[in-house]
């Protein structure tokens, strides 16, 4: 009997992640011999040993290894190189290639809900997720404005991508078509927090929170009360995972099964 392929999540912490649930639901429906496990290495050295020393056919990479993993891979695709972070590793003939599917998941979900080209997006945050979002927006001719509590990080990210930025203190002075939170503020278990003051929300037509647990974050609740069209992080989460499955297997993943598995679990939390 052929041994099932193993795919893994490499991050720390990972106990909260719903990626194993989502991926394994997909592989079961697809009828392929595969399993997805969460691994929690203590540092990048251990993460690389797990990746290269075992039988892992592909890996998801999350905090805090998205940037540090890059120097240990044999090849980085163009999107991940420009973003400066990987969230996906593919293994082919003993060589490891890094990709970033976060931007693809974000763009695919957003394009289904609104036009991106020519619209101004105020992106809160300047970490790896913000980099993927800004990259995706620029590819679709959007106009991102980076806002971060550490002004130097906002300025640095904006300079790299050739877009605008503002210090966090000035967020109330900008008008935009869409506010996008790329920070973990408001994520389980700190669900009473919001990354921005609610007073600014009427300045936006749309509000996106890439946090998917809880589905309706405090930010989105306050944005809806302010009259915004709100978009949860569930679509991006499912979309980036679906693109990982395409890269690893060459097959089309069952998006409905993946979304349902995550939605049902979140509904029980």
Most confidently predicted of 44-48, 212-216, 263-267: 44-48
Summarised one tens digit per residue, pLDDT across range 48-98 is 999 998 899 999 999 899 999 999 999 999 999 999 999 999 999 999 999
Residue 184 phi/psi, 5° resolution?
-85, 5
As a whole-number percent, the residues of the chain with pLDDT over 90 amount to 91
Are the C-beta atoms of residues 218 and 225 closer than 8 Å to each other? no
Query: Residues 211-231: pLDDT tens digits?
Result: 999 999 999 999 999 999 999
pLDDT digits (tens, 9 = 90+) for 7-17: 999 999 998 89
Please state, rounded to an integer, the average pLDDT across all residues of the chain: 95
Residues with Cβ within 8 Å of 129's Cβ and at least 6 positions away in sequence, in order, are 102, 182, 183, 210
Q: In the prediction, which pLDDT does 54 show?
A: 80
pLDDT at 117 over 80: yes
Using one digit for the tens of pLDDT, what is the confidence trace for 137-173? 999 999 999 999 999 999 999 999 999 999 999 999 9
Is there a contact between 22 and 43 (Cβ–Cβ < 8 Å)? no
Q: How many residues does the chain have?
A: 269
Catalytic residues: 66
Q: What is the pLDDT of residue 1?
A: 39
Q: Which of 131, 11, 129, 130 is nearest to 61 (CA)?
A: 11
pLDDT at 3: 66
Between 45 and 15, the more confident residue is: 45
Distance (Å, whole) CA 228 – CA 154:
25
For residues 213 and 266, the answer to whether their CB atoms sit within 8 Å is: yes
- Non-local CB neighbours of 22 within 8 Å, separated by 6+ positions: 237, 238, 241, 258, 261, 262
Residue 239 pLDDT: 98
178-189 as b/e, with b when 16 or more CB fall inside 10 Å? Answer: bbbbbbbbbbee
- Does 29 have pLDDT greater than 60? yes
**What pLDDT was estimated at residue 63?**
87
φ/ψ of residue 137, rounded to 5: -65, -45
Here the contacts of 125-128 (C-beta below 8 Å, separation 24 or greater) are 125/181, 125/182, 125/183, 125/195, 126/150, 126/153, 126/154, 126/156, 126/157, 127/182, 127/183, 128/63, 128/66, 128/67, 128/83, 128/84, 128/85, 128/87, 128/102
Tens digit of pLDDT for each residue in 170-223?
A: 999 999 999 999 999 999 888 999 999 999 999 999 999 999 999 999 999 999
Owner of token pair 């679509």: 235
């Amino acid at each position: 009997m052929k041994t099932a392929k193993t795919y893994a999540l490499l991050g720390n912490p990972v106990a909260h992640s719903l990626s194993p649930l989502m991926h394994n639901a997909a592989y079961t429906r697809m009828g392929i011999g595969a399993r997805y496990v969460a691994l929690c290495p203590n540092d990048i050295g251990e993460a690389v040993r797990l990746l290269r020393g075992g039988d892992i056919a592909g890996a998801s990479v999350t905090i805090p290894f998205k940037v540090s993993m890059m120097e240990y891979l044999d090849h980085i695709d163009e999107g991940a190189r420009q973003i400066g972070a990987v969230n996906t590793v593919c293994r082919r003939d003993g060589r490891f290639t890094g990709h970033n599917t976060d931007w693809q998941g974000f763009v695919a979900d957003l394009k289904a809900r609104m036009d991106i080209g020519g619209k101004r997006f105020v992106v809160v945050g300047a970490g790896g997720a913000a980099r993927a979002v800004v990259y995706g927006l620029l590819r679709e001719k959007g106009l991102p404005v980076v806002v971060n509590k550490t002004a130097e990080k906002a300025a640095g990210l904006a300079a790299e991508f050739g877009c605008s930025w503002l210090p966090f203190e000035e967020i109330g002075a900008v008008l935009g078509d869409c506010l996008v939170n790329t920070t973990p503020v408001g994520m389980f278990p700190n669900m009473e927090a919001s990354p921005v003051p609610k007073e600014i929300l009427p300045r936006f037509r749309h509000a996106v929170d890439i946090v998917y647990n809880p589905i309706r974050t405090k930010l989105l609740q306050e944005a809806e009360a302010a009259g915004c069209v709100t978009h949860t992080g569930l679509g991006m989460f499912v979309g980036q995972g679906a693109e990982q499955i395409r890269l690893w297997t060459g097959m089309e993943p069952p998006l409905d099964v993946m979304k349902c598995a995550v939605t049902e679990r979140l509904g029980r939390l």
